[in-house]
Amino acid sequence: MANKPSIPKGTRDFGPVEMAKRNYIFNTIRSVYELYGFQQIETPAQETLQTLMGKYGEEGDKLLFKILNSGDYLSKIEDSELTERNTLRLASKICEKGLRYDLTVPFARYVVMHREELQLPFKRYQVQPVWRADRPQKGRYREFYQFDGDVVGSDSLLNEVELMQIVDTVFTRFGVRVQIKINNRKILTGIAEVIGAADKIVDITVAIDKLDKIGIDNVNAELREDGLTDEQIEKLQPIIMLEGTNEQKLETIAQVLASSETGLKGVEETRYILSFLTSLNNEIQLDLTLARGLSYYTGAIFEVKALDTPMGSISGGGRYDNLTGIFGMPGLSGVGISFGVDRIYDVLNALDLYPKDSLQTTQVLFINFGEKETAYCLPIIAKVRQAGIRAEIFPDSTKMKKQMSYANAKQIPFVVLAGDNEMAEGKVTLKNMETGEQTLVSPDELIAKLS
């Protein structure tokens, strides 16, 4: 007996119902991006490791899926290198490409390569799968879709404001209550400066970004392992645990960062952004523990969580002033957000928020009574489809019960029957599958009722 086929851990199949739900998500987000003037692009699934490595911090680099070179990839490897078993060194020689980890770094590469074709500021959206060699668990997959929107070529903080409005609009349309968290990497840099640990900014942000997952005691232990003194860790505590309104937090942190020019700049930027976002449908909160571990963020950072179901971040992003500089184009600022499509899918499932009409495929099924009846129905089906109504005819002239069962299984709301009597009158019988009501109608009346 052949082994039962399987798929890799951390990946999923999606059938017709799932795809209908996912397309509802894609279409909703796409329509909002386009309202704000964003245009769609795509980039390859694989990028060179030169493009990917070093852009996500040390932890991110470990999660890259690397692709073996084609052909005899061991031909230039010495036996001594194999027995040494230095994985990183071997990978650098037998792998030149990797699967993209996110859509932002490939986008930065795209901007640099296509700079002469772009009108700045350039506003793009992109929906494609990404891959991370993470440990699969609930809400965390090794292959998942992101839906990104970025603006490059503008330093204006109005871009941050509009991105937060996009987030608010998207989740309002989904009917999902969310909390939007905002912080600024300049504030975090300022905190590192005033506690005397400016060289530890990456360690500090990586550690406090885990606060929700591992708790304050474990965060402090990690900071201690990273070389911070007990005095420096003690100075961090009131900042990490800061409470109050957004304005109260900003006033307090401004006092703490009075000696840090960078930190005060972050406070000023955050205050500006928040001043335009008072009318959002969803809650926005300044959270100084938000760090977003990716090392390329330099200004405002965002994260979104659903309020009514347990789930990790379902959207996030921030400003990255220096990202294109690593590809030879310094000084081009950008800011972006990413929607986690797979997690949004799980949230909408958990809260049962898919509109009924978004899950329907075929609207009407024509029953197949035989060749003569099919020949009569086909021109009518063509007119129905031309009117934008999703229609199909059962392909086989089989028992009525089987055809009706097919309609019920696919939750098709209407069926059309055309026998000798209907053909004699130039009409069809329209049956409502929910109520059982049957109506004799002309083709034009059929279209009007289904529309």
Rounded mean pLDDT of 128-149?
A: 89
pLDDT of residue 1: 59
Secondary structure of residue 111 in the 3-state scheme: helix
Rounded mean pLDDT of 359-369?
A: 92
DSSP strand pairing (391-393 vs 364-366): parallel
- The highest-level CATH class for domain 19-40+116-351 is alpha beta
Which tens digits make up the pLDDT trace of 12-51?
999 998 999 999 999 999 999 999 999 999 999 999 998 9
pLDDT of residue 139: 66
- Kindly report the average pLDDT of the chain as a whole number: 90
Q: What percent of the chain has pLDDT over 90?
A: 62
**Architecture (CATH level 2) of domain 360-450:** 3-Layer(aba) Sandwich (3.40)
CB 441 within 8 A of CB 390: no
Residue 138 has pLDDT above 80, yes or no: no
Query: Annotated binding site, which residues?
Result: 102-104, 132, 146, 150, 292, 296-297
CB 334 within 8 A of CB 320: yes
Burial (CB count within 10 angstroms: exposed 0-12, middle 13-18, buried 19+), residue 306: buried
DSSP strand pairing (122-131 vs 143-152): antiparallel
For 222-276, give the DSSP string: HHHHTT--HHHHHHHHHHHT--S-HHHHHHHHHHHTTT-HHHHHHHHHHHHHHHT
Those residues whose C-beta lies under 8 Å from the C-beta of residue 405, and which sit 6 or more positions away, are none
Which tens digits make up the pLDDT trace of 269-291?
999 999 999 889 999 999 888 87
Query: Annotated binding site for L-histidine, which residues?
Result: 102-104, 132, 146, 150, 292, 296-297
Which of 77-91, 247-261, 308-322 comes out lowest in average pLDDT? 77-91
pLDDT of residue 212: 75
Q: Which residue matches tokens 């700045």?
A: 120
Which tens digits make up the pLDDT trace of 59-70?
888 899 998 888
Domain ranges of the chain: 19-40+116-351, 360-450
Burial (CB count within 10 angstroms: exposed 0-12, middle 13-18, buried 19+), residue 207: buried
